[in-house]
Each structure stands twice: as structure tokens, then as C-alpha cells.
């Protein structure tokens, strides 16, 4: 089952297909004309036989909306190294070229530099001198954005915070993202969706920093975003009670969400959980362990694999 870490950047591409062109440029690929138009294409890159090849997202680049695509950007989101991609990625590019009669560029988006390094490969295609050079966007390629005034597209700041929030400039990139979203995204629900996803994909320490920054950055918020949140907090009574009680309640709520997510995930994948294992999950107060179990549950073939500590 796809995870939030895998799906969130792909959802950004669905919302803003030109983001695929920026990923291509960051990865060292050709620059796309600023006048080009972009269209989300079918991600089914299968041949006309039982073998199925389905990319994560495919974006067509057009000189005009009604014409033939000039090229395509095939985006793959990789959380870990998958040796099978050595064989399937060339098929993605070849099948796209055959179907659309234009060039296709494969861009692999990684959130961990070690995974990015393993994905930066030269895949031989058989004929002498013929290779697919995999273009990779890892943390080193995604811009470190600390100045919100330099942001033209807010999703650049979202990706910057997603991968750099845990680094030495984490607070600066988070502030830049929040200011850019307040300036460029008028829809409060969309702003919250971006921030919620970025926050959820961080470690506990970074998540705490982001949550503190969002609620206590200044006595008087600099942007309408923070004013909105303060007003909503008052309306819902979040400003009442002792700080310690709020923190404990929030932590327990997140633990319960993690427990339920794990149980739902195993149920969806047909992994039957006995009473003893269910009690183990419901009693677990270690978020890191719950997170590890969730990652295993997404790929495990048995319940024993999930809980093999």
C-alpha cells in the first residue's frame, strides 16, 4: 500500500504538473520552455502483453494544448532502493516513446541521499554504447530555500522543507515555507494540507520544532496564516488548559492514530492480527516502533514479518 511519504510529492505533481519540469531541471536534465503547457498523462506504460509497467506519474509537455507532446517527464518516487527498477525503468522510457512518439525523461525523486546515490545508475540497454542514465533528484538537488521572497511557486518551498527541515537550516526553510504559503496560497485548507503532510513526514524532534514554530513563532503573527490559526484555536478552545496537558493529549492522540493506521493497513492487506498481537499494538507507546511496524506492514507477506523484532 502506498505510503504518505511516497504519495505526497506525487500529489503535488498532480496539482501542479509544471513541477515535473523543475524536477527534471534540478536532476540535470534539459530545461523546458517557460511557454510550454503541461498535462498529466496516463501512468500506464505497459506493453501489449501481460507484463504491466506503471510509473508513478507522467507529465506531457506541449507547445500548445491541442498539439502533439514535445516530450514527457516520467516521475518515480523512491523511498528505498529497489533492484527490480534496474529492469523496469528502461521499459518505462521505451514504452512512453513508442506510444507518444516523443522523447521521455525519467526522473527519480528520493528523500534520502543514500537511496539517491544508489538510484544514480547507468543502465546498459544491450547495444554497444547504449545506456539509460537515471536522472535523480535527491536532497542535494532540491534547493535549500530560506528566503520566502525568492519563492515563485510555493510547492518549491514545500519540497525544500520536506527534505531539509531536519538539517542545520531546518527552522529557516520552515519559516520560508510558511511565509511563502501565506503569500501565494490564499486557500487556507490547501495551506494546511501542505503543512500537515510535511510535518507528518518528519522525525519527532523536527515535528515538534515545526509545530512550535507554527503556533508560537511570534507574539503577534506576521502573516494571515498564523492569524487564521490563532482564531481557529480560540474558537475550538485549544488555547485553554495547561500547556503540559495539551502536549500530552496531542502525543496520545498521535499514538492512537499510529496504532489504528497499523491495524487498518494490515487489515487492508489481508494480514490477520490475532488478539495477542492486537493487544501488543494497542499497548505500544513507542511511535518509532509503530512507524517501523507500519513500514513493514506495507510490504510484508505475513504478520510475523511485521512484528519480527
Q: What is the DSSP string of 120-182?
A: --EEE-SSTT-EEE-EEE-TTTS-----GGG-SSHHHHHHHHHHHTTSTTHHHHHHHHHHHHH
Instruction: With beta carbons less than 8 A apart as the criterion, state whether 53 and 85 touch.
Output: no
Q: Do 73 and 125 belong together in one domain?
A: yes
Q: Which of 98, 114, 137 is the last residue of a domain?
A: 137
Long-range contacts of 227-230 (CB under 8 A, 24+ apart): 228/188
Q: Are residues 7 and 74 both part of a single domain?
A: no
Residue at 151 is within a domain: no
Is residue 172 within 8 Å of 147, Cβ to Cβ? Answer: no
62 phi, psi to nearest 5 deg: -125, 145
Evaluate whether residue 190 is within a structural domain.
no
Q: Are both 71 and 5 inside the same structural domain? A: no
Q: What is the overall mean pLDDT for the chain?
A: 82
Q: Please, what sign has the CA dihedral across residues 251, 292, 189, 21?
A: positive
Boundary residue ending a domain (107, 137, 167): 137
**Residue 52: inside a domain:** no
Higher pLDDT, residue 94 or 300: 94
Q: Is the pLDDT of residue 43 over 70?
A: yes
Tell me, yes or no, whether 267 and 301 share the same domain: yes
Q: In this structure, what C-alpha cell is assigned to residue 182?
A: 501565506
Angle between helices 188-200 and 224-235 (to 10 degrees): 90
**Could you tell me the residue range of the domain that residue 282 belongs to?**
246-307
Number of domains comprising the chain: 3
H-run or E-run covering 95: helix 85-100
The answer to whether residues 101 and 61 belong to one domain is: yes
27 and 84 inside one domain:
no
Rg, C-alpha atoms of the chain: 22
Domain finish residue from 120, 137, 154? 137
Asked whether residue 71 falls in the same domain as residue 133, the answer is yes
Q: 213 in the Ramachandran plot: left (φ > 0), alpha (ψ -120 to 50) or beta?
A: alpha
Residue among 246, 247, 249, 269 at smallest CA distance from 257: 249
pLDDT at 133 over 90: yes
Is 157 inside a domain boundary?
no
Q: Is residue 258 part of a domain?
A: yes
Q: In which band, very low, low, confident or very high, does the pLDDT at 243 lie, cut at 50, 70 and 90?
A: very low
Over residues 248-267, the mean pLDDT reads 74
- Do both 256 and 303 map to the same domain? yes
Whether 96 and 129 share a structural domain: yes
24 and 63 both lie in a single domain: no
pLDDT at 115: 94
Give per-residue pLDDT as tens, 79-125.
888 999 999 999 999 999 998 899 999 999 998 899 999 999 999 99
Q: What is the mean pLDDT of residues 150-173?
A: 93
The answer for residues whose C-beta is within 8 angstroms of residue 125's C-beta and 6 or more apart is 90, 131, 132
Residue 164 resides in a domain: no
pLDDT at 189: 85
Residue 145 inside a domain? The answer is: no
Amino acid at each position: 500500500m502506498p505510503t504518505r511519504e511516497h504519495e505526497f510529492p506525487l500529489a503535488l505533481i498532480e496539482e501542479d504538473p509544471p513541477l515535473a519540469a523543475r524536477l527534471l531541471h534540478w536532476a540535470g536534465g534539459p530545461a523546458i520552455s517557460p511557454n510550454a503547457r503541461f498535462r498529466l498523462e496516463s501512468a500506464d506504460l505497459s506493453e501489449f502483453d501481460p507484463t504491466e509497467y506503471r510509473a508513478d506519474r507522467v507529465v506531457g509537455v506541449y507547445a500548445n494544448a491541442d498539439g502533439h507532446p514535445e516530450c514527457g517527464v516520467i516521475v518515480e518516487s523512491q523511498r528505498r532502493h529497489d533492484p527490480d527498477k534496474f529492469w523496469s525503468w528502461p521499459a518505462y522510457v521505451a514504452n512512453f516513446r513508442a506510444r507518444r512518439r516523443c522523447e521521455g525523461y525519467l526522473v527519480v525523486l528520493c528523500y534520502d541521499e543514500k537511496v539517491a546515490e544508489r538510484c544514480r545508475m547507468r543502465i546498459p540497454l544491450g547495444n554497444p554504447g547504449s545506456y539509460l542514465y537515471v536522472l535523480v533528484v535527491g536532497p542535494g538537488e532540491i534547493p535549500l530555500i530560506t528566503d520566502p521572497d525568492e519563492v515563485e511557486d510555493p510547492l518549491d518551498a514545500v519540497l525544500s522543507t520536506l527534505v531539509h527541515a531536519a538539517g542545520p537550516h531546518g527552522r529557516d526553510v520552515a519559516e520560508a515555507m510558511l511565509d511563502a504559503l501565506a503569500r501565494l496560497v490564499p486557500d487556507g485548507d490547501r495551506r494546511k494540507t501542505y503543512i500537515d503532510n510535511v510535518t507528518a513526514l518528519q522525525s519527532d524532534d523536527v515535528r515538534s520544532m515545526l509545530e512550535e514554530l507554527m503556533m508560537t513563532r511570534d507574539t503577534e503573527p506576521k502573516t494571515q496564516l498564523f492569524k487564521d490559526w490563532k482564531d481557529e484555536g480560540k474558537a475550538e478552545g485549544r488555547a485553554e488548559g495547561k500547556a503540559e496537558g495539551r502536549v500530552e493529549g496531542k502525543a496520545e492522540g498521535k499514538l492512537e492514530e499510529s496504532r489504528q493506521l497499523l491495524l487498518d493497513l494490515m487489515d487492508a492487506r489481508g494480514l490477520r492480527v490475532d488478539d495477542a498481537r492486537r493487544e501488543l499494538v494497542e499497548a505500544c507507546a513507542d511511535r518509532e516502533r509503530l512507524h517501523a511496524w507500519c513500514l513493514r506492514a506495507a510490504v510484508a507477506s505475513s504478520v510475523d514479518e511485521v512484528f519480527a523484532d
